[in-house]
Amino acid sequence: MDHAFGGKVVLPAVESLQHLAAAVACFQKKPACRVMSNAVFGKFLKIIPGAKELNVFVDWQSTGDGWCFARLLTREKMYPSAIVRTMEHAVVFFQENGPLPAIPYSPRLFEGSCQFFKIDARKVYRELVPFGPAFHNLTGMVTLAESGAEAWIMAPDMPEAQGVPDSSLVLDAAFHAACVWTQRYLGFAGFPVGFSLRVAADLACPGEICMTRLIPAGGSRGQQNFDLWIWGDDGRICEYVKDLCMRDVFAGQRKAPAWIKNQD
C-alpha cells in the first residue's frame, strides 16, 4: 500500500519482474534467470486498498533460441456487456541458458569543473518521490549532474524484500534516483516503462549499503533513457541495466517543483 500516487495504489514494476521471474523458474523447474531483456511495463496494475490477493495470470512461452518470454496479465469483465478484456501489465524476456553477458565499464562522474547538486534522500521522499516508508530505500545524499547521478541505497532487511530475483527494492530505489534526475533536468517525474537488458550478476544482501550510478543514454520529449550500475559495499557489481526508459506517464500533468529545477 506504500506504492501509491494520485490516490491510487499500483504494483511496482520491480514486483512485476519478481513475479514473472518466479513463474518462469516454476515452469522450468530451475533457479530464476539472472538475465532479462526487452522489458515493457504497460498498464498500471491497480491494487484495491485492503485487498489480500490479485487475480492475475502469466502467459509463458519459449522462443526456441535460448530465450523465453513471460507476460503478467489480468482479465476484466466489461459491464454491462459480457465482454472480457485482457490487459498486459508487464512483459519481459528471460535467458534460458548461456553465460552472463559482459557488463560494460561505468564512466566516472563529477570530474573536473563539473557542476553538481546534492539532495538529502529524506527530502527526495518528502517532495519528489512521495511513496510510503517501505520504499524509502535511498539513503544519505543523492548527487546529480547533467552527466548523471549517484546515490546510496540501503537494501531492505525484511521478509517483503525477498523474492525471485532478490533485492527488487534496491533496483526500485535506483529508479527513484532516475526520477529525481528527470525532475531536475527535464522538468517531469519519470516512471520506469521498460529496459533493453538487465544483468542481475550478484544481488545485494538484506541490510547491505549499495551505490548506484546512472548515465543518461538518449531520449526524446517526455522520455529519458539511462544505463545504470549497482555495486555492493565490497565493490562487487550487483546489477547492470541498459536503456532503462523513464517516461512522463502523466503527460505533463505532474510537474517537478520549482526548487529542483533551479539550475543555480
Summarised one tens digit per residue, pLDDT across range 38-96 is: 999 998 988 888 888 888 999 999 988 889 999 999 998 777 777 888 999 999 999 98
Query: CA-to-CA distance for 179 and 191, rounded, in angstroms?
Result: 7
Least confident of 16-30, 154-168, 224-238: 154-168
pLDDT of 122: 96
Q: How confident is the model at residue 263 (pLDDT cuts 50, 70, 90)?
A: low
- Classify domain 117-261 by CATH architecture: Roll (3.10)
pLDDT of 50: 81
pLDDT of 111: 65
Instruction: Give the count of alpha carbons within 13 A of 44, CB side only.
Output: 15
The three cell numbers locating residue 27: 515452469
pLDDT of 160: 57
Q: Is pLDDT at 30 greater than 50 in this prediction?
A: yes
If phi over 0 gives left and psi between -120 and 50 gives alpha, with beta otherwise, what is residue 187? Answer: left
Amino acid in position 154: M
pLDDT of 8: 85
Query: CA-to-CA distance for 39 and 90, rounded, in angstroms?
Result: 7
Q: How confident is the model at residue 164 (pLDDT cuts 50, 70, 90)?
A: very low
N-terminal to C-terminal alpha carbon distance within the chain: 37
pLDDT tens per residue across span 201-223: 998 888 899 999 999 998 888 89
User: Is the pTM of the predicted complex or chain greater than 0.85?
Assistant: yes
When pLDDT is averaged across residues 182-192 and rounded to a whole number, the result is 93
8-state DSSP, 12? -
Yes or no: say if 142 and 149 are a contact pair by the CB < 8 Å rule: yes
pLDDT of 77: 79
pLDDT of 262: 65
Q: Is pLDDT at 137 greater than 60 in this prediction?
A: yes
Q: Using the structure block, give the residue that is written with the C-alpha cell 526520477.
A: 179
Q: Where in the chain is the domain with CATH 3.10.129.120?
A: 117-261
E strand spans, the chain: 4-5, 8-10, 35-41, 46-47, 57-62, 67-77, 84-95, 117-120, 138-145, 148-154, 191-200, 209-220, 223-231, 237-247
Q: Is pLDDT at 166 greater than 60 in this prediction?
A: no
